[in-house]
Structure 1
């Protein structure tokens, strides 16, 4: 049974060191998730300084998009554990970034806002909508309307002047680094937003867009038709002829969950079942780096080489988030997801054994403990992987007819 509210003091009273996580015990999972979430929130002080420049965002070197991702992780925390301690801070953060037109176009962050960044904030806004998280206060539209407005800014950017379609990485010509690059995370983000809006509203227009983005992603080669590995992107200046064959876990997770949502939306369409299953098989790329770390997740493009930047150190968390979420849209995937993510959660928890209190999270989960590399991304990846163990005990995302469109 889902526990609607878990008192934070009660969680503290049954403190369990993360390294001692029992992946089959809900009380152990909640306690460990609480500790890791507290570690994540220790990086945030925007609600204390309380200025437009600091609310919702995390200190440098963390970009705006990673803040949106962090609030998504904290929404998951609230939903899966039942601990509402952070809900007011989460709500303040989300509302602060909606922008003057309520579409997640915030002029304060235009310098670093690309299509992928906006998509990650959109994921968090949709989480709030799909869970009937407390609505914004007066003069701010409901969460679902903000998500729809976000889609309405992204769709006109679909560019058929090169590569036959697709979104560029960036939005603004004043930020030329990426205007010529069409990448899987931006287009996967648009695909997932479209899929979730189709399910959340019942409006088939969003479904048509989701199919369009998927078909283009396959045609241009971002989704390998044989291995279902998701590649990073291509350049519009050569009409996307040469793929950048780097692969990152977060792009894979984004397409995976979008496909699972469409399986649910279509009430079991075999096409989306096959695509979801194939992407889940393709996700094996991000597990089992060594013989002694079977089914432990790793960021294969950079972790073994020590080349992960701050962004990349958070990527595993989004694959975990979307794999757990996939099980609620397509229950037949649960067995394989648990086979991969239970060992990963145990390894992630063992990695959260550093710092003065022995609870800070490291980066590499396959080393058997704490590797000394700490940060916001490391807290997020561990949190999403551990708290997702509770996903079957929480209500699935609401859909059309169940989502509140009005206040109260």
Structure 2
């Protein structure tokens, strides 16, 4: 049982103070990361209740995608620290969500599954494949095959009937509002998946698709000439006007995809320039005030106290992908360290709440715990702190190094680059009270209501 296997680690973690971190001491970093990992897993009870509805997911208001993100963070924890205490529960969570076709199209969660959600689970699966994370169930395909299956399920949703291409935010017509919104996270996620699969398999069809998605993202304006990544556009207007709202995780998703392609193409200057440009543009997510230099913040919502549950986790993915970028393009390391070393210290100080002084807050630039805690806050601090160990860890394996590559890792051909009517018109029974009935309200709650702030942000951050 998972709770028994991590009992000793939990006892140690509960009494380690993050605020005392020494970022120059790997032992200190591991100790603080252990504390933060325990705090992250404290939000999970699925393996205790042991019912299909709770396995792998975190309680409301957390959606299915954020669970995939959390398991990705825990895979990072295992890899960077060498602590395997949570490996069994990570494996259980990942295998429980593969779905009947081993592509993370999970009927139980159709109501909350969009293209971006599926992409976040794919990031975790790719981490498992690229690190040769044990796959103990011989009845389920190897991790890399599963990642290829996910890619194959997504490529047929590339829709040229509007905006000259791109993936919609949502998959199913039962989430109608999101069907008319093409967003950077879905398309950036598909871009990064394609890049990583190209490197992991050596199959250049994935490279061609990565280039195709990048070109489209630039053409449509999701990535501008200064490498800022914007949220998305309404396909009913043929993506004529891009929503200039921007979030840290989208910046990180495109950045790491570009860095992987720089590595895969043996240092191609174009991908190097794009990676460097995306990293430079990420400066807008740091240094909110003169006395908070190089400290990360979510600029679209934190200063205005309008971050929702999803947004409170976004910084963690930028941290994850910035640290990962340094392993694909080492020239980025000095700048990443400048930004994330300071952010890690600030994040650790923010994790000083609760009875044991280890609960994480949201705003890292206030000098301590701000009283706003949650799963996302724990994850963001964990990813930022444990990434300090990235240079000591083995870099992601590539084609020829990944174990148990099966025969199903060939991508779909380019002939299916139009809307898949079967997938797009499917109307599964949605999961009650989750995103099935709230795709429109999610748009209303943050994609559109925060848009009013974007003009202020542009002026304020210029």
Smaller-chain TM-score range?
over 0.9
Instruction: Compute the TM-score of the two structures, normalised by the length of structure 2.
Output: 0.85
* Secondary structure, counterpart of 1:191 in structure 2: helix
| CA–CA distance in structure 1, aligned partners of residues 136 and 125 of structure 2 | 11
Q: Which residue is 2:307 aligned to?
A: 308
Instruction: Look up the match of 2:290.
Output: 291
Match of 1:363 in 2: 362
Residue 175 (structure 2) aligns with: 175
Instruction: Tell me the alpha carbon deviations over residues 81-123 of structure 1, each in whole angstroms, 9 at most, x when there is no partner.
Output: 0000000000000000000000000000000000000000000
For 2:178, what is the secondary structure of its paired residue?
coil
Structure 1 residues 8 and 395: CA distance shift in structure 2, 3 A: farther
1:202 maps to 202
Match of 1:48? 48
Q: Is the 8 A contact 1:287 1:295 kept in 2?
A: yes
Q: Which residue of 2 aligns with 1:189?
A: 189
Partners of 2:206 and 2:11 in 1: CA distance: 41
Secondary structure in structure 2 of the residue aligned to 1:182: strand
Query: What SS class does the counterpart of residue 345 from structure 1 fall into?
Result: helix
Q: Does the aligned pair in 2 maintain the 1:11–1:30 contact within 8 Å?
A: no
Tell me the residue number matched to 2:19.
Answer: 19
Structure 1 equivalent of residue 376 of structure 2: 377
Aligned equivalents of 1:121, 1:200: Cα separation in 2: 17
Q: Secondary structure at the match of 1:292?
A: coil
* 2:237 aligned residue: 238
By how many angstroms is 1:16 displaced?
A: 3.7
- 1:68 equivalent to 2:57? Answer no
Once the 2 structures are TM-superposed, how far is the Cα of residue 174 of structure 1 from its aligned partner?
Answer: 1.1
Which residues in structure 2 correspond to 1:224-373 (within 5 Å)? 224-225=224-225, 227-373=226-372
Q: Gaps spanning 5+ residues in structure 2: where? A: 1-5, 407-462
1:79 Cα deviation after fit = 0.2
Contact 1:11 1:34 in 2 (8 A): no
Alignment check: 8 A CA contact 2:13 2:35 kept: no
- 1:164 paired to 2:160: no
Gaps of 5+ in 1: 1-5
Note the alpha carbon deviations across 1:139-182, whole angstroms, 9 max, x for none: 10000000000000000000011111000000000111310000
Distance 1:387 1:344 in 2: 12
SS in 2 for 1:139: coil
- Pairwise CA distance, 1:76: 0.2
Q: Which residue of 2 aligns with 1:31?
A: 31
* Cα separation, 1, equivalents of 2:346 and 2:200: 35
Compared with structure 1, are the counterparts of its residues 136 and 154 closer, same or farther at alpha carbon in structure 2 (3 Å cutoff)? farther
Partner of 2:93: 93
Q: Deviations over 1:48-73 (max 9, x none)?
A: 11111110000000000000000000
- Checking the alignment, whether the CA contact within 8 Å between 1:228 and 1:278 is kept in structure 2 is yes
Is 1:402 aligned with 2:401? yes
Given that 1:318 and 1:381 are in contact with CA atoms closer than 8 Å, whether structure 2 keeps it comes out as: yes
Does the residue aligned with 2:339 lie in a helix, a strand or coil? helix
Give the CA deviation at 1:8: 5.7
1:3 match: none
Task: Normalising by structure 1, report the TM-score.
Answer: 0.96
Retained in 2: the 8 A contact 1:46–1:58? yes
In the TM superposition, structure 1's runs of 4+ consecutive aligned residues that sit over 6 Å from their partners are none
Between 1:14-23 and 1:190-199, the stretch displaced more is 14-23
Query: How many residues are treated as equivalent by the alignment?
Result: 401
3-state SS, counterpart of residue 121 of structure 2: helix
- Note if contact 1:248-1:301 (Cα within 8 Å) is conserved in structure 2: yes
Q: CA deviation at 1:405?
A: 1.6
Distance 1:142 1:36, change over 3 A: same
Partner of 2:448: none
SS at match of 1:374: coil
Alignment check: 8 A CA contact 2:10 2:38 kept: no
SS in 1 for 2:109: helix
1:11 positional shift: 9.1
CA RMSD of aligned residues (A): 1.5
Q: Determine the structure 2 residue equivalent to 1:84.
A: 84
Q: In the alignment, is the contact (CA less than 8 A) between 2:15 and 2:356 conserved in 1? A: no
The answer for the alignment partner of 1:147 in structure 2 is 147
CA distance in 2, matches of 1:238, 1:8: 56
1:196 Cα deviation from its structure 2 partner = 0.1
